Structure 1
Amino acid sequence: MACQSVQYIAAIMDEQALLGLNPNADARYRQRAMAYFEQLKESQDAWEVCADALAKGIYNDDHVKFFLFQVLEHQIKYRHDALSGPQQQLIRETLMKWLQGQLMNSQPEKPFIRNKAAQVFALTFVMEYLTLWPKFFFDILSLVGLNPNGVDVYLRTLMAIDAEVVDRDTLHSTEDTRRNTLIKDTMREQCIPNLVESWFQILQAYQQTQPEITCQCLEVVGSYVSWIDLNLIANDRFVNLLLSQMSVEELREEACDCLFEIVNKGMDPVDKTKLVESLCQVLQSAGFFHVEQEEDVDFLAKFSRLVNGMGQSLVLSWTKLVKAGDVKAANDTLQALEGKVPLLLQLLVHADDDISANIVAFCYDYLHVLKQLPQLTDQQKANIEAIMLAIMKKLTYDDEYNFDNEGEDEAMFVEYRKQLKMLLDRLAQVSPDLLLEAVRRVFNNTMQSWQTASFMEVEVAVRLVYMLGEALPASHGAHFTGDATKASVLQEMMRTLVSCGVSGYQHTSVSLEFFETVVRYEKFFLVEPHHIPLVLVAFLDQRGLRHGSPKVRSRVAYLFSRFVKTLHKHMNAFIEDILRQIQDLLELSPPENGFPALLTSDDQLFMFETAGILIVHGDGPAERKQGLMRSLLGPLMEAFGLLLDKLSRETEAERQAALGDCLSHAVGFASRTSKAFSNKQTVKHCGCTQVYRDCLQAFLPALGCPVQRGPLRSAVRSFLHRMIICLEEEVLPFVPAASEHMLKDCEAKDLQEFIPLISQITAKFKVQVSPFLQQVFMPLVVAIFEILGRPAEENDQTAALEKQMLRRSYFTFIQTIASSGMNEVMANQGAENIEKVLFTIIQGAVDFPDPIAQKTCFIVLSRLVELWGGEGGMVGFPDFIYKHIVPACFLAPLKPTFDLTDAQTILTLSECALTLKMIYNKRGPEFIQFLQQDYLPSLQVAPEITQELCQVLQQPDVKVFKNYIKAFFQRAKL
């Protein structure tokens, strides 16, 4: 029967299924091929046909051959242990016959088939090497000899084995890790020397004729060297062979990588130093240290990575030797390290950034070593200076950098600059004085002739001053404090920067760097405020806010707000002038005016905030501030009314959206001005109350607008949040009308965003808003539960999440009312309504698997017990405690969805325990009796456990009870 099924499948395979393996086959055939593949994979013996076809080389089609290997791979990977001894033997024979076939082929298989074959060999090896096939490598090696097709498969198999057994990026189970360790140990004992010998023979035999195979072999050596005996590789014959390949153009990059892996291998620090030194000597005598003569940048990138590895290895050895107290060996290693610095500098300053970037880590570590030395030699100081000059040179943009359309190359240079900044910071730690002096020299030389210098030179000179701010510690004058001589160097540079006219340099990179630096060192202007007018003019004219580049204008808008925030006390005399000059930048840009605005609406937010700060923090009387604020916000209110009227009449969707955006921006701008007020400079103190009341009056009608409801409601709601903080009780008359609008025709998201507003009002004004809250409370609750009760699509994740967030917001609102001492808001809703609300809280605590909402519900229940659960509390509430709150405290944690390993759920359980504790505090022995005689027996809790729980509950330490409750429910859920 088995034989028949095999023959039958073979027939189908021949005629139909295999047609669908071709990527160009139509969907019907492809589907049939997929179904057939599944059938073959699951069959007990049909896969043997595939094995037979592979061994005999029946098929020529590449896709079919790949398919056959996939079927075999599935058997080995998922069903190997279920195969009989003869079937396992069949797999081994199949693979060896297929390999034998490769030796006779004049043309090797396509790479994707060889890779798949190597994976199947590697899987078989992993499954059988320790038990069934200990001679795996010997069998393969004796078969392939030095046949190039066979060697290719052998090397690919070794890389596939590395991926299965060694690769640290692959996550393995504990069992697989143990097996892999055993495989490596057995290989070290039984066959690694033979494998290494085979690699040597391959490298020697093929370096002239088969560069591809030689490169593969070098990759294998590099991969295996991390866990085999290094002496097998790091010996004269092997290293000389590798070094000879460093001179062969097609092999040198791979040989470099191989040497890098050898150098990276963990070993004794003294031995590592010797290894690196011997490698360096040979490389140096072979002429590899003449970096400037090498034109192959791809090779140099690999070579700089190798030098980086050697340098970092020496640093690590030095660190270990210093720690061990081996002074002589540490000094020898330090000497070896110093010997590599000239090479490091050649590579660091190389024109190609990839080559330079590859050496940065070694440079960083070398500077770290210098930082730890008690004293620096003249040579080390010279090295520091050379590194500094290299960094300054490499920070410079090149001609090809595209500032208008930054792509991948530009992004890579920005990343590379970050690495150089890291080096500069480390330099500052090693020798801050040297760095300060070097920057001063470069900066002063450039500023003396900035008009004729290239933008790259000017930008980097200013950039270096900017970078000092983070690189130098405050004691070195980065913040104009501490040592006067050091502070004066930076002050002198800042004086030059703001007065030499470089702010007018016509290049975006220089403009941006100028303003960034001015704002970084804003404290300079506190020391020398007479420079402020000069810089203000630059901010306000074509160098800054009116620059030709939108990128510069945008950044300057933000930087200007920062500058004004810090220095507004020194700008009192210029307030009106500044406001007049930026007036056109504060105008709304209605969609129909057709002119591109100088600033985006996001940039304008900063401008309005800046204007607000200037007005609020000016020295003048309240009347002046009120007048200026009205001049600022009046045009916004006027434009808002006109645009809202237009929107209500507009029928075209695109224009409705544009008008809605514009209206939202207007509200946002007004809101942003309010950020200028503080505890000292309040709205009231500045005489601006009526201005903001007028804004409310102007904006609130937008809540009733039937189009663009979402954006408009969101904007006005945000403004109300700000006004609650700024206007205080003056905002209250506007709240009822606003709430009425926002509760009308609302969706889950609207309500969810409205509740925090009501909660904010409740928490801030408490008793003052009690009448309003009593009025709005039930309509709000009804609206919430109407939305929560709406049916939704089963798989609509967005709707489900919105409902979850709304439910959470609702419970938080109830918590705010309860914890603000506003219990009369609920108490005055009538018995039926109170009951409805209480049941929603019980339901939230028990029925919904959302620990955040559940925790809030238990906090509310605990608070309500505290308010209403004692003598003289709400009529009927003790009955509610026993019928509903106590059961909730036990039923919620017993639910399967209540995960006691989850941190958020544990917090919920903690609140649940506090609720039980609060019930005991309010009801005393009566509650204990209820638990002992009624409730816990109804849950089939054993009498001794009931007794134990009640005893712990009566103890004063609540922490003990919390711990007990956790253990109680953990036991109950077993």
Structure 2
Amino acid sequence: MACESALPAIMDEQALLGLNPNADACYRQRALAYFEQLKESRDGWEVCAQALAKGIYGDDHVKFFCFQVLEHQIKFRHGSLTGAQQQLIRETLMKWLQLQLMGGQPEKPFIKNKAAQVLALTFVREYLTIWPKFFFDLLSLVGLNPHGLDIYLRTLMAVDAEVVDRDILHSPEETRRNTLIKDHMRESCIPALVESWYQILQTYQRSHSELTCQCLEVVGAYVSWIDLNLIANDRFVNLLLSHMSVEELREEACDCLFEIINKGMDPVDKTKLVESLSQVLQSAGFFNVEQEEDVDFLAKFSRLVNGMGQALVLSWTKLTKSGDVKVATETLQALEAKVPLLLQLLVHEDDDISANIVGFCYDYLHVLKQLPLLTDQQKNNAEAIMLAVMKKLTYDDEYNFENEGEDEAMFVEYRKQLKMLLDRLAQVSPELVLESVRRVFTSTMQGWQTARFMEVEVAIRLFYMLGEALPASHGAHFTGDGSKASALQDMMRTLISSGVSEYRHTSVTLEFFETVVRYDKFFIVEPQHIPSILMAFLDHRGLRHSSPKVRSRVAYLFSRFIKTLHKHMNSYIEDILSRIQDLLELAPPENGFQALLSSDDQLFMFETAGVLIVNGESPADRKQALMRSLLTPLLEAFRLLLNKLTQEGDEDRQTALADCLSHAVGFASRTSKAFSNKQTVKLCGCSEVYLDCLQTFLPALSCPVQRGALRSAVRSFLHRMIICLEEEVLPFIPAASEHMLKDCEPKDLQEFIPLISQITAKFKSQVSPFLQQIFMPLVLAIFEVLSQPAEDNDQTAALEKQMLRRSYFSFIQTIASSGMNEVMANQGAENIERVLFTIIQGAVDFPDPIAQKTCFIILSRLVELWGGKDGLVGFPDFIYKHIVPACFLAPLKTTFDLSDAQTVLALSECTLTLKMIHLRRGLEFIQFLQQEYLPSLHVSPEITQELCQVLQQPDTKVVKNYMKAFFQQAKL
């Protein structure tokens, strides 16, 4: 077997030293190189096989290393091994297994798992061809030796991972192979494997619980695809049930039974299976949940009952659909019989146990929803579930509100599941849900002063949840009709008048404000409650609460409340503004004072102030005065801080000042969100105030430090002002643009272009002179950035350039589609040509279908504008020299992937460009294709004729389909 790449028959001891996790880097490097050498050599791996077969090394890391080398051979080189080498691998594995049977020191789990993995890989490669007796050989070797059985069971799980596990993605070829393996196993060895499992479970249930648990896991994994009768029979099930009484085995036994129940089956057979299992479990006393103290086992048992319940629901659904009324009725009775057990588990104090049964509970309620009439028992069941949900929604004493960790996150998730149950209950019986919540809410609100926080919180929470559970409650319950004052209206009155907003626990406070805002329509009907609620928002209960978390949430909720009720705020506007004045102050970075609200929270406060001012009933001059007094302190602070920033040398202080300046711009911008089509800036007399803001903010664009942050803030403000101030913003645009184009980064440019595009699209011909002036400086700035060299592997720089290129093409598209062709036409022939070549380049050279699509849209539009008889001088020549070739060269590129949706859209625009050329140039274009261009591409005369005929078709869909097929064929 010797060859040029042969390695010595003994292992490199020096290299093996590097396998120790504590080894020096140079040793580790040598071990890595040795591993690669052994993997790649044609027979070097044989020294590893020999080491394993003879048990030469005691070191775990060396043994693991040897298995890894073997694994590589089987995984990647099995097909190229000789028959003798394949035989050597089989013998090595069996000899190593034989060593395990001798009962010395057992191997570490990580070695056994790796060995099982290698055995499974060998099985997958050889079972269907040269090793059909794989499992029989394994079983006859290990017998009932516990060390051997351990490896055997691990191998079965590794085979499951390779062949069955649905979470692992397989290629179509692997899927076919796996199906063949399973078919062959069912025919030849599954009965023998099942018998071996039975023997293991029976022999070792008392002496080797770990082995028994492993075996139960194997049964659970294999039951999904083998004949169920091999497992679901008296002797096997009785054995599993006996394991349910053994403390070390019961959890695995539960999981195994769950997998058996989960197997896809005919509904009648499934019901029989569930019922027989249920009877045995019940007579063995497992339904007496209260007497069971082991919560880990009960969590597993709850999952098993959940599986049984959901299986019965599925059977009932199928039987009902098929019209088998008698059997469906029997299945429903079986289902109902499980409800007392469901309720015991649902209400259990341990949330894991309760959470595991929610699925069955949800499905059971779905069954009740479908029944035409509920029996008294079913109504009682629904009521019991309602009580359980209300009880389980309650926080416990351990919940940490200040520092929420994993346990708290799990409870939040569990609460979401309970909410689903409440919503489903409301579909079954809205009256029951409303009445239950009302009862709990009313009694709790009567005695909230002495109640524990979790009782008060859950009472308000339930009231809050009614909003979604009974959708009509949002508006229809607050109709204002005194004779029909609804339950929800009563409850809102109780919530507000009870004084519960004074309760000193953050969870109650937050729930109170969330509920007030959820039912804010109530105040339209009963506006007399508005003053007391406003006070709650504005004082120590809300925006001045001791908890930052409460203040932050209330700032957001208050803005929502004001938005809904702004029409009812007229008499409170100035009072509210004066009370929140200190919350609207810009917190300068140097004062060290901890502001009550973060800058994000302040955004909501400024928006709220804006909404109050704009929507008030005051005359325009009063609105202007209020808006000016709101924004003037911001502008004064801005001027001071900008002056400081230009003189500040310390980089950290610069960053802090720039942040503060950006916040000031953001706050001013946020107030403008209050304006609408009805209440414009002009109508409210506020134009002058915002022009002052522009005047104050624009100098920040020329600040020599912190350019990125300041430009970004001012640019966002300009976007808002283009919408709000309309033409009045135009005088500011040229100077602002000039500043923003100085010393540009790719990101700056990319963000500046949408601003110019917005101006172009909105003001069109009004800004034409300005655009003609800025067009080439902007284009040249873009060219300069795009031409800067970047590292080959700098992904960020490449992506930034791609995004800038897209923005540039979008800008050209905006100009072309706004009917402002004079902007480009007046740039001089040389400049026009430069720009046109970039568009041709974008259409053909860059493999970016989004940009290519835009480029073809531009080309099509330019052909429409300039391609006729009275078009731009020299443009028809450009069409034939560059645009037509672009329409063919782009789709012929290997990077132009016609299986990609974006690329197909690009091709669609490319086709429309050709159609537009035909529309503008007529027969001349067709003759050019026939006589010059297509022959130059070696297109046959027949295809040329066909393509030219199709291009003259009026139906663009036909043309698009043809062109797609044409290029697909051309690329073969």
Tell me whether the two structures share a fold, i.e. TM-score over 0.5: yes
**SS of residue in 1 equivalent to 2:113:** helix
Name 1:165's counterpart in structure 2: 163
Name 1:669's counterpart in structure 2: 667
Q: Identify which of 690, 715, 736 aligns with 1:738.
A: 736
**Counterparts in 2 of 1:253 and 1:742: CA distance versus 1, 3 Å:** same
* Partner Cα distance (1:595, 1:876) in 2: 68
Aligned length: 972
Which runs of structure 2 are paired with 1:685-834 in the superposition (5 Å)?
A: 685-834=683-832
- 1:760 shift after superposition: 0.8
User: Which letter does structure 2 place at the counterpart of 1:733?
Assistant: P
Name 2:94's counterpart in structure 1: 96
Larger deviation, residues 478-487 vs 293-302: 478-487
Larger deviation, residues 570-579 vs 220-229: 220-229
- 1:51 shift after superposition: 2.0
* Partner Cα distance (2:803, 2:411) in 1: 43
* Partner Cα distance (1:140, 1:967) in 2: 57
User: Which letter does structure 1 place at the counterpart of 2:665?
Assistant: V
| Cα-to-partner distance string for 1:406-464 (whole Å, 9 max, x where unaligned) | 11111111111111111111111111110000000000010000111011000000000
| Cα-to-partner distance string for 1:293-346 (whole Å, 9 max, x where unaligned) | 111111111110101011111111111111111111111111111111111111
* Partner Cα distance (1:437, 1:336) in 2: 30
| Cα-to-partner distance string for 1:767-803 (whole Å, 9 max, x where unaligned) | 1111111111111111111111111122211111111
Matched, 1:274 2:272: yes
| Cα-to-partner distance string for 1:94-121 (whole Å, 9 max, x where unaligned) | 2222222211123221111111111122
User: Which letter does structure 2 place at the counterpart of 1:480?
Assistant: F
* Partner Cα distance (1:934, 1:484) in 2: 86
* Partner Cα distance (1:235, 1:484) in 2: 67
| Cα-to-partner distance string for 1:917-971 (whole Å, 9 max, x where unaligned) | 1111111111111111122222222111111111111121122211121112112
Q: Identify which of 286, 289, 297 aligns with 2:287.
A: 289
Matched, 1:265 2:266: no
Name 1:628's counterpart in structure 2: 626
- 1:41 shift after superposition: 2.1
Q: Identify which of 602, 605, 608 aligns with 1:604.
A: 602
* Partner Cα distance (1:127, 1:934) in 2: 59
* Partner Cα distance (1:912, 1:59) in 2: 68
Matched, 1:30 2:28: yes
* Partner Cα distance (1:317, 1:517) in 2: 41
- 1:508 shift after superposition: 0.5
* Partner Cα distance (1:17, 1:740) in 2: 65
- 1:181 shift after superposition: 1.5
**SS of residue in 2 equivalent to 1:9:** coil
**Counterparts in 2 of 1:87 and 1:71: CA distance versus 1, 3 Å:** same
User: Which letter does structure 2 place at the counterpart of 1:642?
Assistant: L
Name 1:10's counterpart in structure 2: 9
Which runs of structure 2 are paired with 1:894-973 in the superposition (5 Å)?
A: 894-973=892-971
| Cα-to-partner distance string for 1:456-484 (whole Å, 9 max, x where unaligned) | 00000000011111111317977535999
* Partner Cα distance (1:550, 1:767) in 2: 51
- 1:496 shift after superposition: 0.6
* Partner Cα distance (1:912, 1:4) in 2: 58
Name 1:240's counterpart in structure 2: 238
- 1:10 shift after superposition: 2.9
* Partner Cα distance (1:471, 1:820) in 2: 49
Matched, 1:139 2:137: yes
Larger deviation, residues 167-176 vs 562-571: 167-176
Q: Identify which of 195, 216, 219 aligns with 2:217.
A: 219
Name 1:364's counterpart in structure 2: 362
* Partner Cα distance (1:487, 1:230) in 2: 60
Matched, 1:847 2:877: no
* Partner Cα distance (1:912, 1:476) in 2: 51
CA contact (8 A) 1:469 1:479 kept: no
User: Which letter does structure 1 place at the counterpart of 2:914?
Assistant: L
* Partner Cα distance (2:262, 2:773) in 1: 74
* Partner Cα distance (1:123, 1:799) in 2: 44
* Partner Cα distance (2:445, 2:583) in 1: 32
Which runs of structure 2 are paired with 1:338-377 in the superposition (5 Å)?
A: 338-377=336-375
* Partner Cα distance (1:4, 1:883) in 2: 60
Name 1:443's counterpart in structure 2: 441
- 1:4 shift after superposition: 10
Q: Identify which of 177, 190, 193 aligns with 1:192.
A: 190
Name 1:252's counterpart in structure 2: 250
- 1:518 shift after superposition: 0.7
* Partner Cα distance (1:156, 1:765) in 2: 73
CA contact (8 A) 2:444 2:455 kept: yes
Which runs of structure 2 are paired with 1:215-614 in the superposition (5 Å)?
A: 215-474=213-472, 480=478, 488-614=486-612
- 1:901 shift after superposition: 1.4
User: Which letter does structure 1 place at the counterpart of 2:334?
Assistant: A
Larger deviation, residues 435-444 vs 963-972: 963-972
* Partner Cα distance (2:687, 2:480) in 1: 44
* Partner Cα distance (1:332, 1:119) in 2: 47
Name 1:40's counterpart in structure 2: 38
**SS of residue in 2 equivalent to 1:340:** helix
Name 2:78's counterpart in structure 1: 80
**Counterparts in 2 of 1:482 and 1:421: CA distance versus 1, 3 Å:** farther
CA contact (8 A) 1:269 1:317 kept: yes
**SS of residue in 2 equivalent to 1:800:** helix
CA contact (8 A) 1:478 1:487 kept: no
Consecutive unaligned residues of structure 1, counting only runs of 5 or more, are: none
Name 1:856's counterpart in structure 2: 854
**SS of residue in 1 equivalent to 2:8:** helix
**Counterparts in 2 of 1:92 and 1:822: CA distance versus 1, 3 Å:** same
- 1:45 shift after superposition: 2.4
Q: Identify which of 5, 19, 28 aligns with 1:21.
A: 19
* Partner Cα distance (2:801, 2:74) in 1: 49
CA contact (8 A) 2:457 2:508 kept: yes
Larger deviation, residues 344-353 vs 789-798: 789-798
Identity %: 84
| Cα-to-partner distance string for 1:817-851 (whole Å, 9 max, x where unaligned) | 11111111111112222222222212221121111
* Partner Cα distance (2:764, 2:519) in 1: 45
Structure 1 length normalisation: TM-score? 0.98
* Partner Cα distance (1:406, 1:476) in 2: 31
Provide the aligned C-alpha RMSD in A.
Answer: 1.6
| Cα-to-partner distance string for 1:662-718 (whole Å, 9 max, x where unaligned) | 110000000000000000100000011101111111111111111111111111111
* Partner Cα distance (1:858, 1:493) in 2: 62
* Partner Cα distance (2:789, 2:38) in 1: 46
| Cα-to-partner distance string for 1:274-306 (whole Å, 9 max, x where unaligned) | 111111111112111111111111111111010
**SS of residue in 2 equivalent to 1:626:** helix
- 1:372 shift after superposition: 0.6
Larger deviation, residues 734-743 vs 439-448: 734-743
**Counterparts in 2 of 1:156 and 1:917: CA distance versus 1, 3 Å:** same
CA contact (8 A) 2:474 2:519 kept: no
* Partner Cα distance (2:20, 2:163) in 1: 33
Consecutive unaligned residues of structure 2, counting only runs of 5 or more, are: none
**Counterparts in 2 of 1:554 and 1:20: CA distance versus 1, 3 Å:** same
Larger deviation, residues 454-463 vs 745-754: 745-754
* Partner Cα distance (2:650, 2:27) in 1: 50
**Counterparts in 2 of 1:250 and 1:486: CA distance versus 1, 3 Å:** farther
